[in-house]
DNA sequence: TAGCGTAATATACTAAAATGAATAACGCAA
DNA sequence: TTGCGTTATTCATTTTAGTATATTACGCTA
């Protein structure tokens, strides 16, 4: 994802410090990078089926991710409907959008954090 | 307002922000929480076999973790010997110790980071 | 030389996670 | 009423990570 060429900004040096963040609920993780990207695809396509295809994961996988998320959150992050004019669909709720926005914000902060700490890591490996 | 609880120290509130860090090399991850704990057990016991038992992982798993680490690092983090008075053994090199110390330092910083960011997460879920 | 406790390695098995395919329910429209 | 595209759900299969077990090499000691 952070794969840059020769521009000089985000070099892909190795070794490199990496990091992840996610949010745990009482029944396990309910929000992380994968789910957030999935939410954005659902927003884009209005459909779990199409979002799953775009991300090259199975419908079932997408559904499980969404279900485990929706069931741990006070108010659902996506709402679904089956049947109707276009067969049904799925949309992201305002609560979901807030969560997505917050996740990206923290994610961004984490990248800053890692960038800082990475200096110490790199100093381990060059003289 | 933030939720108030009855005990005082490390509350296990949910939802809770979590995070991990690790170091990637050209052939994948070579240092993370698991390997660092393993290094510490090797230091403690002087043996991969015993360290693996203490961590309740298979010898093979421990060996693979160590090997993938050692082979991506300029100078090995552990050195092994087979045969001899006590059958052989494994010890952590100064380079390994430095890496362990640095990892824990960054890990600690990450905990501080998460603690700060977690406030924003929590505010998503209480009124 | 035989015995020991270890590292190193190969192979077969196990368990968990994800996939793929099939099916039913849904609700609108023609 | 039939067709359509979606969600929801089940089940068999595949993939993958890890375990369990066995074997060999090693080097010291008795």
- What domain range is B52 assigned to? 28-125
DSSP-derived secondary structure letter, B2? P
Tokens at residue A101, please? 């926005």
pTM of this structure: 0.90
| Residue B127: predicted pLDDT | 65
Is A19 contained in some domain?
no
What's the domain count of chain B? Answer: 1
pLDDT at B12 exceeding the cut of 80: no
A88 forms beta bridges with A82
Tell me the pLDDT tens digit for each residue of A71-116: 999 999 999 999 999 999 999 999 999 999 999 999 999 999 999 9
CA of B80 to C1' of D27 (A): 13
| Residue A102: predicted pLDDT | 98
Mean predicted confidence (pLDDT) in B40-47: 98
Mean pLDDT score of chain A: 91
Contact between chains at A102 and B121 (C-beta distance less than 8 A): yes
Contact between chains at B19 and A20 (C-beta distance less than 8 A): yes
Nearest alpha-carbon partner for A66 in A92, A94, A104, A97 = A92
Is A16 contained in some domain?
no
| Residue A8: predicted pLDDT | 47
Mean pLDDT score of chain B: 92
Is B2 contained in some domain?
no
Residues B40 and B37: their CA atoms lie apart, in Å, by 5
The confidence band for A4, taking pLDDT boundaries of 50, 70 and 90, is very low
Q: What is the CATH number of the domain that holds B47?
A: 1.10.10.10
Is A5 contained in some domain?
no
Is A10 contained in some domain?
no
Is B69 contained in some domain?
yes
Q: With pLDDT > 70 as the criterion, what percentage of chain A qualifies?
A: 90
Is B90 contained in some domain?
yes
| Residues ≥6 apart with Cβ < 8 Å to B116 | none
- The residue of A1, A12, A19, A118 whose CB has the most chain B CBs within 10 angstroms, and thus the best one to mutate to test that interface, is A19
Q: Is A121 on the interface with B (CB under 8 A)?
A: yes
Nearest by CB to residue A22, choosing from B14, B18, B124, is: B18
Residues A72 and A54: their CA atoms lie apart, in Å, by 25
Helix (H/G/I), strand (E/B), else coil: B116? helix
Is B13 contained in some domain?
no
pLDDT at B119 exceeding the cut of 50: yes
Q: Is B1 on the interface with A (CB under 8 A)?
A: no
Tokens at residue A119, please? 């200096």
Mean predicted confidence (pLDDT) in B15-35: 96
């Amino acid at each position: 994802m952070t794969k840059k060429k020769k521009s000089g900004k985000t070099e892909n040096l190795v070794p490199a410090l990496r990091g992840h963040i996610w949010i745990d609920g009482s029944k396990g993780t309910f929000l992380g990078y994968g789910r957030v990207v999935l939410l954005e695809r659902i927003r884009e396509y209005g459909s779990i089926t199409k979002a799953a295809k775009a991300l090259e994961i199975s419908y079932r996988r997408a559904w499980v991710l969404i279900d485990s998320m929706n069931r741990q959150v006070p108010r659902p992050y996506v709402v679904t409907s089956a049947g109707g004019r276009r067969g049904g669909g799925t949309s992201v709720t305002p609560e979901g959008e807030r969560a997505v926005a917050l996740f990206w914000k923290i994610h961004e902060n984490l990248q800053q954090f890692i960038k800082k700490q990475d200096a110490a890591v790199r100093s381990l490996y060059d003289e």
